[in-house]
Chains A and B, each alone.
Chain A
Amino acid sequence: MTIITRRSLLAGAAAGVATLPFAHDAFAQGRLTVTSYGGTWEKAQREIYAPVFKSRNAGWDVDVQLGGPPQWLSQIEANASAPPIHVSLMPVELALAGGAKGLFEKISVDKVPNLADVPKPFVDMCEGWGVCVNYGAAVFGYHKERVKNPPKSYKELVERVAKGELRAALPGIGWAFTPTILLWPLAQAFGGGVDNVTPGFEAVKRMRPNSVFWNSVTEFPQLLQSGEADVGIWYDGRIWDAYDAGAKWLAPLNPEEGAAMIPASVVKVKNAPEIGWKYVDAMLDPEAQLKFAKLINYPITNSKVVFPPELRERFTPWEKTQLPPFGKIAAVIPEWVNRWNRELRG
């Protein structure tokens, strides 16, 4: 019979405690903090990308932090030496802004092997401060039952809304990306551009009496359903999400001039653990990307992925969109916002 003495019990406990740090290392080397928008994006991070990362990097766990890019960028900027976020989704404008401030690291194939299958423009648009993982377009969304003949171009939209034939739901200045998805394409359509945004402002002014502005991205379907608007500008993937969720009266239309393409990029934060690159690689994994595209209705960027036909029909072809000059727009946003406040209020 084995007798357990107090001395042997204490010795065993001490040995156990002494090995705890090593046991911790064996089972969990650390936690990686990644960011996500709410809703289906969160589901994608938790159920698609994080499992791929964890299956390839035993001992690492993933924390998903919800919120929005301006908030994430501020958190990183406030604590750049020990960033609370390691890998983050970013719109291209903020990826460029953060990169210019030295908050992100340059991406390369040796750090992210799946990058080899991503077309170069999706890296170039971020100037190497991350990579575009998926993209969408800010298309027209309209109420099929009330609008039998939807506007086919930005010019037609402006004319018909200005006349009062249609009411529009347009992104307001409370939405951070309004300069890119509204002012810039309207300026382009009426002969202007980044250097001359006046035609864009004039177009919004003409539509203003028959328009409402949405300042939260989830407002749009409610505005159409409640009769506040018949048509407007919203993201194609979100339109299909709403359609699948029961809004069968909602349809997207890519204007003739081409809707503004809105890519979502992922960045690895400077001073974050090097393993963050493995998470970026997981986000570019072809199998994971296909699952993501099926879940969220946005096309992804790994060229190895073959979309099923029903999915391909839904995607706005990138060659029929316009790629905004993100860097130039980012530089003039304060000026445009100031002008909006003074001339439009909305």
Chain B
Amino acid sequence: MPALAFLAALFFAALIDNGARSLVPPGGAPWFAYYQQLATDPFYLRALFETVALAFVTTLVCLIIGYPVAFYLVRHARAGRTLIIFLLISPLLTSIIMRTFGWRAIFARRGLLNASLQYLGLIERPLDILNSSASALIGMVHVLVPFMVLSIAAVLEKIDPRIEEAAEMLGASRLQTISRITFPLSLDGVASGAILVFMLAMGSFVTLLFLGGGSLQTFPLLIYQQFNTTRDFGMAATMSNVLMVLAALLMFIQLRLIRRSGVT
């Protein structure tokens, strides 16, 4: 009961309030005016596309980086296992602002990366790396890849290594064993990691604000702007409702696709 009351007060009540705010546009406009604007204005449609595309690419990059790390962690790291887990978790113990400002110091025109490239004679003038979609993506992956690694590692841990050994004894190469045996069996972890990273990336705000420099306009950034600058709470509520429904829909589709591939 206390948990239900807690949810009712802090989650459902807020959702209902958000829903109500989005249905009362100013100036006697019809109740669906905010939603109509989001659905028909190319600017908002593009922002919605950028939000989903960024979350998708971030998830993909996290998977590409995270799977080998998780595999190494579970199958090969013996003595160094604790150290790897610590290194994975340690960024999460630091304030996101500090991490983001750290990236800024690395990517700046007189930062570590540009200075190193110039020192090595690879570039003549500093590159504009900061305030781009690339720097925003790197910052996002840095923040979110631990979630992917830990989700996959937890499932890989449960796969009996003797199954992989049996496949190899029956003539499968290492690559075949991983692609046909290990990976399909670990899809549950991939799914959990992908959903977790995708959802967090959809709502990401601080990293984009400080590393993206306006190169990407996503819904969380626009919601902040509506709240902070224009004070149009109705529009902010509408955008957050759309974002939430879209996230739930995409999560449902992801789960369906994964279940179709044989993982429960």
List chain A positions with a Cβ less than 8 A from chain B: 68, 70, 73-74, 97, 167, 172-174, 176, 178-179, 212-213, 215-216, 219, 222-223, 226-228, 333-334, 337-338, 341-342, 344-346
Contact = CB atoms under 8 A, between A and B. Distances in A.
Interface in B209-246: 209-210, 213-215, 217, 221-222, 224-225, 227-233
Contacts, number: 76
A337 B227 CA distance: 12
A215 B136 CA distance: 15
Nearest to B17: A78
B225 A226 contact: no
A269 to B, nearest CB: 17
Interface string B110-126: 11000000000000001
B105 A172 contact: no
Interface string B168-209: 000000000000000000000000000000000000000001
Contacts of A167: 109
Interface residues of B, number: 28
Interface of B: 43, 101, 104-105, 108-111, 126, 130-131, 209-210, 213-215, 217, 221-222, 224-225, 227-233
A179 B228 CA distance: 13
Contact of A227 (B109, B213, B232, B233): B109
Contact of B229 (A97, A212, A337, A344): A337
A333 B230 CA distance: 6
Contacts of A334: 230, 232
Contact of A213 (B104, B214, B221): B214
Nearest to A215: B209
A249 to B, nearest CB: 13
A346 B230 contact: no
A97 B231 contact: yes
A257 to B, nearest CB: 24
B53 to A, nearest CB: 15
Contacts of B109: 167, 226-228
Contacts of A338: 230
